[in-house]
Amino acid sequence: MELRERIQADTTEAMKSKDAPRVSTLRLISAAIKDREIAARGENSEHPGLTDADLVAIMSKMVKQRQESVRAYEEGGRLELAAKEEAEIKLIQQYLPRQLDQAEVKSAIDGVVADLGASSIRDMGRVMAELRTRYAGQMDFGAVGPIIKDRLMG
């Protein structure tokens, strides 16, 4: 089952079971997907639609936004709002691929560096682009940057 179909089916199921927080979050996901589709149509009139990789990227961005909100709410003492955002993060992550652990991330970086023949810091952009292609939604690319830099400099 495609990711989009799974989200729609889960939304229907959540509505039937009257799970309001789940319905709300799933509708947010659907709205973000629809917004991206409309933007893509405007950019390219022959756009075939969003792929599962596009959906993963959208949901990864949603998780990142909510993580920032959690930090802001916790700093502001708004723990109930932070808890709501945490619950949304957990639900969105159910639709994302499994996150790679630290050892798997390093192994993936080493593999891409070897495949591309990357040897200097100037190759960092190419390595990062290839990692995004192969491992979309499976690693935090903000945290990966310094690891790639160390690998290419060392």
Q: Sign of torsion, CA 98 95 84 75? A: positive
* Rounded mean pLDDT, 11-17: 96
Q: What is the DSSP letter of 99?
A: P
Q: Is the pLDDT of residue 140 over 70?
A: yes
Residue at token pair 């969003």: 50
* Alpha carbons 112 and 101: distance in angstroms, whole number: 17
Distance (Å) of CA 34 to CA 9, 43, 51, 67? 16, 14, 13, 22
pLDDT digits (tens, 9 = 90+) for 25-49: 999 999 999 999 888 877 666 656 7
Calculate the average pLDDT of the chain.
89
Q: Which range has highest mean pLDDT (39-53, 71-85, 136-150)?
A: 71-85
Residue 7: helix, strand or coil by DSSP?
A: helix
Prediction pTM value: 0.73
Residue 138's pLDDT is what?
A: 83
Nearest Cα residue to 119 out of 72, 71, 74, 153: 153
Q: Which range has highest mean pLDDT (17-31, 56-70, 115-129)?
A: 17-31
Query: Is residue 54 within 8 Å of 66, Cβ to Cβ?
Result: no
Q: How many residues does the chain have?
A: 154
Residue 118's pLDDT is what?
A: 86
Domains and CATH numbers, the chain: 3-93 (1.10.1510.10), 102-153 (1.10.10.410)
Count CB atoms within 10 A of the CB of residue 124.
17
Report residue 94 CA to chain centroid gap.
Answer: 11
